[in-house]
Structure 1
Amino acid sequence: MTPSSLGILGGGQLAQMLALAALPLGVRAVVLEPDPQAPARLCAEHIHAAYTDPNGLDHLAACDAVTLEFENVPVEALARLEGRVPVRPGGTLLARSRHRAREKEALRAAGVGTAPFVPIEAEADLPDALEQVGGRGLLKTSELGYDGKGQARVNSAVELNAAWERLGRVPCVLEGLVAFEREVSLGVARTAAGEVAFGPLVENTHRDGILRTSVFPARVPGGTEDQARDLARRVAEAWGLAGLLTLEFFQLPGGELLVNEVAPRVHNSGHLTQDGGGISQFEAQVRAVLGLGLTDWFPLHPCAMVNVVGTADGSEPDWAAIDALPGTRRHLYHKAPRPGRKLGHVNLVAPERETLHARLAELERLIP
């Protein structure tokens, strides 16, 4: 029998888009989210309760499977669900990916390269740490932190000590700076039975620590996508993935890929798959979690995505001009605006690369 219900821990925009992708498959979504204004409430059953609420978790446990839209799920929630309903990805993988130092150690164990790093657990770890990573680096909190939050660039021992104090003296990881040519990402999905599928290799640019644009196809040397798929498969199999995860890479001048971060879920850089043709990353996660037939989610046309982020002056994009630009489609999250908050994205599809990049330049001009 085809599964009919999917539980989701979290009710933000990723849960909203997962729920919308599940509906055409005959699957209804149930989200557990404490925010009364959760974006996913508009298209899914919304359990308005804390993530650790026993009744809310019991409701999720009645679904065919449970997935997530963010990795920092309280361990108590996962413990209550364990053994009652498949949770994909599972608690072991989540514990690894939510902690930057453990994540990098596990990547190295799977045979995947990363930037040089040193865990900073206590003040005694600070001396000589910067020299171990090449003299310059990024200090990041081991847990939490996203979109540029919870991190600081450091170029001296004095800056490192000050940054650790500023971040609250919590466990961190110090990463060496890497001279890369571009940032790319790729998603991999795997069912509990071991079936594997891949998303496209996407080229990403950031602004103020937040993803600004994603473009497919990526402008990379030949063989780069095969390399990314090989590394993604290694991680998926070594970590026992059931569900979907996204790897963010640094592409070095010689073509080598280093993994920067791993997200055990759909990712902002994969939003362009909604409109590029074929299935989306959201349908891929639903399929992987519920054990439905998997296939690569690969755009049929050149496509791009631009994030819509809240501005300090409250200015909005020129929606009339955006809608008039051929190939655009907006996706808004129904979230109250505030500076630095992701409020939506606009996807762009074009018949060939040259047209895509010309229209993308115009689209970026229309979005603050």
Structure 2
Amino acid sequence: MTRDLTLGILGGGQLAQMIALAALPLGVRCVVLEPDPLAPARLCAEHLRAPYTDPAGLERLTGCDAVTLEFENVPVGATSVLEGQVPLRPSPAVLHRSKHRGREKVALEAAGARVAPYRLIESEADLEGALASLGGQGILKTAELGYDGKGQARIGNEAELHAAWDELGGVPCVLEGLVPFVREVSLGVARGPDGSLSFGPLVENIHRGGILRRSVYPAGSSAHTAAQARTLAGAVADAWGVVGLITLEFFELAGVDGQGGELIVNEVAPRVHNSGHLTQDGGGVSQFEAAVRAALGLPMQDFLPLLPCGMVNILGWEKGNEPDWAALESLPGTHLHLYHKASKPGRKLGHVNVVGQTPEEVLAGMEMVQRVLGIK
């Protein structure tokens, strides 16, 4: 029997590109709806160059076996057209929760997860006393949109809170109290139409300026903490009725009495995630293949790397500072992934995965990659 399935994707960026590349060996072709004529996924998928709400484009997607997405801020007009016409995975209900930080926190708490202390800021009157109730320091984030550090500001006093509220446009926000975490970690979970679950690795992440710079597996967390992450991810996926793949980002608190630290959920991405890119080259199923399997109801399996591995993001460079690609590709254990995007400072243009026999070998390889890329 020859498998002949088609997966639609809302969005045609690098995540859609990597989903499409993982789908092809499974006998699955992808169709992306994306207005950008230079969308990275156009190189390996059928590209519908049109707005996300384009009637003809949406009609084409209804002919797919299922539709998934590569970003959460899909226009409601698009999902409302697709709902009921084709399996949309994750569902509009999951998107509704995850695209608004306030709704997401309420839904996480209902699923049994702990979140950072917070206050909803929907009007100027809500600013009064909010910061003091959270200990006098926090981070103000727009309730919707915002990505890679955009749409947020660190707050240390009342004057900064009012100034940040004005600078963010006076839109609905969430003010979060600061959490004294020891590390940031993330974990993906895929859930099939029959409720079966598969889990990715617990990955340790380093951010700078709100942008993920590097990820490594295994994380420095204990086995107890890794098990806790799987339990929480599974509980959220089940409680939200997820079909598809979601990624949970956690703050890990300091442990006590030899036990691993408790996890606080920072946010949920209803899609494949930058921190999961290292699963491409660790020897097991990748997060992208797991997302395809879940969306189409194919047999599930955990997407854990078989070897220690890490990932370093490649960001856009200033003119004249293009990386030495030959030097980068000659490093042992490295796998270069470029997105075919024009360079702009700070823009994610690709990543390098590093695989080794030991965690120490991976960390040393990542340091070499960073030196070649000029990252301190």
Q: TM-score, normalised by structure 2?
A: 0.96
Q: Mapping of 1:244-283 within 5 angstroms? A: 244-254=245-255, 255-283=261-289
Q: Which moved more, 1:355-364 or 1:53-62?
A: 355-364
Determine whether 1:67 maps to 2:68: yes
Distance between the aligned counterparts of 1:314 and 1:233, measured in 2?
47
Aligned twin of 2:235 = 234
Identity %: 67
Aligned counterpart, 2:146: 145
C-alpha separation in 2, matches of 1:225 and 1:109: 21
Q: Does 1:49 align with 2:50?
A: yes
Q: CA deviation at 1:3?
A: 5.3
What's the counterpart of residue 195 of structure 1?
196
1:100-158 CA-to-partner distances (Å, cap 9, x unmatched) read 11101111111100110111001110000101222100000000010000000001111
**2:327 matched residue in structure 1:** 321
- 1:359 aligned onto 2:365: yes
Separation in 1, partners of 2:325, 2:57: 39
> Displacement of 1:288 after TM fit?
0.2
**Partners of 1:338 and 1:23 in 2: how far apart?**
30
Distance 1:134 1:238 in 2: 31
Give, in angstroms, the shift of residue 247 of structure 1.
0.3
Partner of 2:23: 22
Deviation track 1:256-289 (CA, whole Å, cap 9, x = no partner) reads 0000010000000000000000110000000000
Matches within 5 A, 1:1-368: 2=3, 4-254=5-255, 255-313=261-319, 315-368=321-374
How far does the alpha carbon of each residue in 1:187-223 deviate from its partner, in whole angstroms, 9 at most, with x for none? Answer: 0000111010100000000122110000000011231
Q: For residues 140 and 318 of structure 2, what CA distance do their matches in structure 1 show?
A: 26
Matching residue's letter, 1:84 = Q
The one-letter code sitting in structure 2 at the alignment partner of 1:355 is E
Task: Give, in angstroms, the shift of residue 311 of structure 1.
Answer: 2.7
Partners of 1:288 and 1:182 lie apart in 2 by 29
Q: 2:87 corresponds to which letter in structure 1?
A: P
Structure 1: which amino acid aligns with 2:252? Q
Q: For the residues of structure 1 that align with 2:363 and 2:271, how far apart are their CA atoms?
A: 28
List structure 1 segments (4+ residues) > 4 angstroms apart after TM superposition.
Answer: none
Partner Cα distance (1:356, 1:134) in 2: 39
Structure 1 256/314 Cα, relative in aligned 2: closer, same or farther at 3 Å? farther
Distance 1:184 1:53 in 2: 38
Gaps of at least 5 residues in structure 1 are: none
Structure 1 Cα separation of the partners of residues 79 and 46 of structure 2:
20
Following TM superposition, by how much is the alpha carbon of 1:82 offset from its aligned partner in structure 2, in angstroms? 1.1
Distance in 1 (alpha carbons) for counterparts of 2:142 and 2:317: 26
CA contact (8 A) 1:57 1:81 kept: yes
State the 1:313 CA deviation. Answer: 4.3
Secondary structure of the residue that 1:223 maps to in structure 2?
helix
Structure 1 residue aligned with 2:258 = none
Task: Give the Å deviation of 1:60.
Answer: 0.4
Superposition deviation, residue 314 in structure 1 = 5.3
- String of CA shifts for 1:310-367, please: whole Å, max 9, x gaps: 1344522222221111000100000011111100000000111121111211111111
Of the structure 1 ranges 351-360 and 142-151, higher mean CA displacement relative to structure 2 is found in 351-360
Say if 1:3 and 1:64, in contact at 8 Å, map to a contact too.
no
- Structure 2, unpaired ranges of 5+: 256-260
| 2: CA distance, partners of 1:314 / 1:194 | 51
Structure 1 residues 236, 32: CA separation in 2 closer, same or farther (over 3 Å shift)? Answer: same
SS at match of 2:307: coil
Could you tell me whether the CA contact under 8 Å between 1:3 and 1:290 is conserved in 2?
Answer: no
